[in-house]
Amino acid sequence: MRRGILQILSWINEWKFGIFLFLNTLIFVYIFYADINKRKGIGTREIIGDVTFKYNKIQRKFDNEVVWEDLDSNSPLSNRDSVRSDKSSQATLMLKDGTEIQMDEDTMVILEISEKVQKINFTKGSINVKKTQIQESISTSILVESSAGSVKVKDGDVIVAKQNPKALDVAVARGEAEVNIDGEVVNLKKNQILSLNEKGIETKDSKVKLVSTLEKAKLIESKKEEKYFKAVGATNPTTENQNTASSNSQTSPATVPNPIPQIKNAPSSDPSNPKTAPVETDEDAARRKKEREAFDRFMKM
């Protein structure tokens, strides 16, 4: 027994430097991982607004920092925050003065909001700025600034889109917007669109329809569902029900039975009727669970 203990102590003494380095490596890896993944509070920073709606992945980076953190609904925002939306993601930011900023997918903005300045540094993507002039008060304009030009909104609903560094699209659904491109100022009114491209600045009159972030999120979800059911060779029950309802609306609803969504390889009997529903085997249950897990993974992509 004593001999075995002496051998262990001898081995530790011989490899103590290697063990020391190994333990240090584990400690530093843990500290680095914790620092990267920890959620930082807003601290003493002044709150300028919050996230009122988010769909999928929305991130924020504080000023003078390099680490991005995930945001949830009702997360507070501070001055000089960078906010970005991932692919197939949507977000709505609400500033303290009531200005609403709707972010489309793959969009990034930097918020510069203070008593003296109201500015959105617009890097890429598409945003919808909704600003309302409050009566009997002096409300400053909000400036959307990008490398291609700037857009000033004092009272209106304005869409600003930027697909590449030299392009800019501005559409006014309500109110007015002042667009400044290299010193050339263009005043846009309701249902007017400006496009900056290789040909220069083009403006036209066209009906501008706004779509909320919630509606866009539902559309993204619907497209993902359709893509999934197409990939597995099945019919989306939601679409099937909608198409059937549309068809039935042209006939008497009292004479048309409620149809059951048809899916390929499904049993011919009605599963909602316990008298005709087939008994589900262990193999069927396992297959159904596997399909459900595959669908959930697909929807999170």
Give the phi and the psi of residue 179 in degrees, each rounded to 5: -105, 130
Measure Cα distances from 270 to 248, 261, 275 in Å. 20, 10, 9
pLDDT band at 254 (very low <50, low <70, confident <90, very high): very low
Same domain, 63 and 110: yes
Same domain, 13 and 138: no
Same domain, 21 and 59: no
- Most distant pair of Cα atoms in the chain: their distance: 95
Same domain, 6 and 56: no
Q: What pLDDT sits at residue 144? A: 97
Assess if residue 33 is contained within a domain: yes
What is the total count of domains within the chain? 3
Q: What pLDDT sits at residue 267? A: 40
Assess if residue 164 is contained within a domain: yes
pTM above 0.75, yes or no: no
Domain limit, last residue, from 183, 205, 227: 205
Same domain, 124 and 186: yes
Helix (H, G, I), strand (E, B) or coil at 295: helix
How many C-beta atoms lie closer than 10 Å to residue 75's C-beta? 19
Same domain, 93 and 181: yes
Assess if residue 42 is contained within a domain: no
pLDDT of 126 higher than 80: yes
Strand partners, 49: 77, 95
Please tell me the distance from the alpha carbon of residue 261 to that of residue 276, in angstroms, as a whole number. Answer: 16
pLDDT band at 152 (very low <50, low <70, confident <90, very high): very high
Give the phi and the psi of residue 6 in degrees, each rounded to 5: -65, -40
Give the structural domain span for 261.
213-299
The pLDDT tens digits of the residues spanning 262-274 come to: 333 334 444 444 4
Considering only residues 249 and 168, tell me which one the structure prediction assigns the higher pLDDT.
168
Same domain, 92 and 164: yes
- 199 CB contacts (<8 Å, ≥6 apart)? none
Assess if residue 241 is contained within a domain: yes
Same domain, 239 and 283: yes
The pLDDT tens digits of the residues spanning 85-120 come to: 999 999 999 999 899 999 999 999 999 998 888 999
Assess if residue 68 is contained within a domain: yes
Q: At what angle do helices 213-231 and 282-299 cross, to 10 degrees?
A: 140
The pLDDT tens digits of the residues spanning 172-213 come to: 999 999 999 999 999 999 999 999 988 899 999 999 988 888
Whichever domain contains 52, its CATH number is 2.60.120.1440
DSSP letter string, 105-160: SS-EEEEEESSS-EEEEEEEEEEEEEE-PPTTS----EEEE-SS-EEEESSEEEEE
Measure Cα distances from 59 to 51, 102, 214 in Å. 11, 14, 18
* 162 contacts 125 by C-beta, under 8 angstroms: yes
Helix (H, G, I), strand (E, B) or coil at 43: coil
Please tell me the distance from the alpha carbon of residue 110 to that of residue 128, in angstroms, as a whole number. Answer: 15
Measure Cα distances from 99 to 71, 193, 297 in Å. 19, 21, 36
Same domain, 69 and 174: yes
